[in-house]
Amino acid sequence: MTKLKYEILEKELKTVMKEIKEFRKENEDLIKKNQNLHEKIYDLENDNGVDDNNYKLLLFTIGLLIVGIIMK
């Protein structure tokens, strides 16, 4: 019986480790996407002369969105 429990726990551990690996990959993809968005926003800000306070607020909002996605 103990051996069976050990095998079940080992399978569950492998599943959890696989899920963690997938979440890390998704997180890395989101970070890259966020960096690209920051670069685009910065370029648009420079092209359009957007007020610096609006730019900082937008970056803060995007940061909160990403933190919310990661914490989810």
pTM, to two decimals: 0.50
Question: According to the model, what pLDDT value does residue 22 have?
Answer: 94
In a domain, 61, yes or no: yes
Question: According to the model, what pLDDT value does residue 28 have?
Answer: 92
In a domain, 53, yes or no: yes
The stretches in the chain having pLDDT less than 70 are 47-52
Is 62 in contact with 34 (CB distance < 8 Å)? yes
In a domain, 30, yes or no: yes
Say how far apart CA 69 and CA 72 lie, in whole Å: 5
In a domain, 62, yes or no: yes
Question: According to the model, what pLDDT value does residue 30 have?
Answer: 92
Question: According to the model, what pLDDT value does residue 70 have?
Answer: 85
Structural domain that includes position 45: 22-71
Question: According to the model, what pLDDT value does residue 21 have?
Answer: 94
In a domain, 65, yes or no: yes
Structurally, how many domains does the chain consist of? 1
